[in-house]
A and B are shown apart, each in its own frame.
Chain A
């Protein structure tokens, strides 16, 4: 083991997540630079596509690597991964500039689309229009996807817009709801319970198992929000229904 590998080994903490998975912990904070390193490491491992690799799950500050335990020993996977932990510092800077996609998501704010907008604005001592402007003007990144299929946890929320979760979660949140929960913003792919503050709603389908690319967003994607009106929302929603009825399609290049 050379000196750089030794340093990487010290910087990345390995823990057995399951018989067939390692958890690589790069830190313990929610931090954009740290998250960029996670995505850089995931991209490096994915690019190698070793035959034993089953799944890679990037999260805020950690990465899970699932492997075929019938095909390879856990120790051999760890040794292999250590080599790729070596240069992630250099990589992270390069990766955050190039390669990652930018996806634009139209959002209708307020009213029936965002029942918490007015109360959230009041709590933040902003007008609803200013809250919309600042929330939709953010430069976001998909820090991780989880909680439900296709649910993106977006980092990059302006710290002044952080809002506590509801004391009592709603039993039903509409699909496409764009919400703030603590220091994060996120989008609910499916109707269901949820405790985040609902500011608006996108007509796009975030997740559809029948599509060639089931998730609209990938971990590491950059995301821009575009405020739209009710008319455009309904027009785009009709398009989304048609596209879905047409069967599998590639959603890799959203508008």
Chain B
């Protein structure tokens, strides 16, 4: 096959799904102006989906939530889907996830998510929407980045970057794939580091003592938790707004914690119980509404070891993919 880059390719959105938006690895350097980092809620999935189609790690992908979109490919393309289990059909024919798929022109329909909430779709060449503040990630609250600063709508056209031209009449799936759970135990409690504030220590400890129900009002900004409210805490906090970050566990006046996710605002006034460690944040992206979540306190050493292990596993998988693609 002669590599002939296509520069005019685009994908048309026939149906947008529940909430589909363009994401990459987010933007740094703008938090002091109130602009959060954003980016894929599970960056590992975005990186590996990109690797499966031969893209750079920071190429833009589609983040799909609860129910995927229906997309029209006007030219052949290599795609890969990674994340929650969901049904994917090409012109009615079921396709497997977590591997490279070479598709001719046709219709790709992605259904409802099971055993999770979100999946990430990469297409060779990446989605080349215009970058805003150094990133193609959609900032849904700020209304910029991605495609017109919003979630996808029917009729949208997503531009694609240069990619290798494919000549094929029928979908072709690779015979190998990667484990979509890659090493994380989905049943282990989510680890968090409790705040060192003496006034909040008791509430921070109680946060880990009981299970929490995932509220359906959760979104990319925050995972809202329901359950036995942690009351009597507000008086202990100064209420002066302080910086917050993805992972911050906030406790509003109603005693129901919110764990901030990638679209976290940059400052907040609620008492802070601590933060979910970076290694476990991707699992929160898959917390299904109305299911139970358990949290467990850990220390800095455990957080650091978990982060190093996750980075090593990600690097190992990327190399394995590059190795396979090189040999195919």
Binding site for B on A (CB under 8 A): 15-21, 23, 25, 28-30, 42, 54-64, 66, 69-70, 73-74, 144-151, 153, 190, 207, 209-210, 214-215, 218-219
Contact = CB atoms under 8 A, between A and B. Distances in A.
A64 to B, nearest CB: 3
B60 to A, nearest CB: 16
A219 B242 contact: no
A63 B132 CA distance: 25
B30 to A, nearest CB: 7
B99 interface: no
B35 A57 contact: no
17 contacts: A15-B197, A16-B275, A17-B243, A17-B275, A19-B279, A42-B32, A60-B240, A63-B243, A66-B31, A145-B34, A147-B267, A148-B265, A150-B34, A209-B142, A209-B144, A214-B30, A214-B33
A29 B240 contact: yes
Interface in B265-311: 265-268, 275, 277-279, 300, 303-304, 307, 311
Nearest to B143: A190
A144 B275 contact: no
A209 B311 contact: no
Contact of A64 (B33, B245, B300): B245
Contact of B33 (A42, A62, A74, A215): A215
Interface size class of B (residues with CB under 8 A): 35 or more
Nearest to A14: B196
Contact of B31 (A57, A74, A153): A57
A145 B245 contact: no
A209 B246 contact: no
Contacts of A145: 32-34, 266
A60 B275 contact: no
Contacts of B246: 18
Interface string B181-194: 00000000000010
Nearest to B33: A215
B168 interface: no
A61 B240 contact: yes
Contact of B243 (A29, A57, A70, A210): A57
A18 B32 contact: no
A180 B35 CA distance: 23
A149 B142 contact: yes
Nearest to B35: A149
A21 B34 contact: no
B245 A18 contact: yes
A116 to B, nearest CB: 22
A146 B307 contact: no
A150 B277 CA distance: 28
A58 B32 CA distance: 7
Given A56-B32, A69-B307, A207-B33, A146 B241 contact: yes
Given A64-B245, A209-B139, 10 more contacts: A29-B238, A59-B241, A64-B242, A74-B300, A145-B32, A146-B266, A149-B144, A207-B33, A209-B132, A214-B30
A8 B266 CA distance: 26
Contacts of B238: 28-29
Contacts of B92: none
A147 B32 contact: no
B300 A16 contact: yes
